Amino acid sequence: MTEPSSARVSPSSALRLFLNGLLSRSTLSEEAQASVLDLPGTLAEIRRNEDFVSVGRLLNHACLVVDGLAARWGQARDGERQITALHIAGDMPDLHSLVLPVASFGLQALSPTTILRVPHAALRKAALHPDLAEAFWRTCTLDAAIASEWLVNIGCRNAKSRIAHFICEMATRFGVTEAGNAFAFSLPVTQHHLAEATGLSVVHVNRSLQSLKRDRLAVLIGHDIQVLDWDGLQAAADFDAAYLHLGRRTREPALSAEALPPRMTIAGTIKDPDR
């Protein structure tokens, strides 16, 4: 059984995972890299199904997932929720709160989850490195790309393809796809979570999972997903990992402080809720 990268990750390891994600898409100086690894924070243990960011809350920190699985969610007036993204160890799902500190969505732990609350002030100080400010910007853009793909998934694919696409994305983000055409990985979600993430009823999720099993593409057993035919699963999902921008480090030079608009210089031009 292949364990996802979120298994038993320490705060320093989570910061390294966060840095590796930045480096996969951006070129950072050694000084900028050291600034990421030196970020301070406060650890918090979050129970399964517990919210750790609520809509409308004024934040003075961003949350780095250290261990476990977190969901981004929105909620209708009747209380029904829609999961709009999943976040694994090394992800900072509300990095954009650095410039938009009032939470426009919630964050919930789908499994027992450890987070590191990193003060906005420390992130702003790190972002004084222009290449790191650009890397943060690019990470937020990646989150938007994933959200866009999820919208396409809900709006354009049938139930079976939606579930297949969800599995493909998570397998790719966990990095387990290099194991070959057949592999397994742990993903602590329920069929109810899958329904919230794909805009389906639990009944349709169950039927789709049974269809994937009959076609010998993938099987969900408890919290373990067994991929039986990776190539076939990608075809069924209409999955192309390009939107995840994995390993696509930019060759363009980092933006200088002079090249950034005034509100993008981070320090001194944006009201700091920490003060």
Q: What are phi and psi of 29, to 5 degrees?
A: -70, 165
Q: Which domains does the chain have, with CATH numbers?
A: 11-152+244-264 (2.60.120.10), 158-237 (2.60.120.10)
pLDDT at residue 247 in the model: 65
pLDDT tens-digit readout, 154-202 = 999 999 999 999 999 999 999 999 888 999 999 999 999 999 999 999 9
Contacts 24+ apart (CB under 8 A), 73-77: 73/105, 73/106, 73/107, 73/108, 73/196, 74/105, 74/106, 75/106
Confidence of residue 273 (pLDDT cuts 50, 70, 90): very low
- Would the pLDDT of 267 be above 50? no
**In terms of pTM, does the model score above 0.85?**
no
pLDDT at residue 9 in the model: 66
- In a 3-state reduction of DSSP, which class is residue 17? helix
Confidence of residue 38 (pLDDT cuts 50, 70, 90): very high
pLDDT attached to residue 123: 97
Reported as a single tens digit per residue, the pLDDT across 115-135 is 999 999 999 999 999 999 999
Q: Which tens digit of pLDDT belongs to each residue from 48-82? A: 999 999 999 999 999 999 999 999 998 888 878 89
What strands, in cross-sheet order, belong to the sheet with 61-67? 42-46, 113-119, 61-67
Can you state the angle between helices 11-23 and 130-156, rounded to 10 degrees? Answer: 80
Quote the pLDDT of residue 154: 95
Q: What pLDDT score does 8 carry?
A: 59
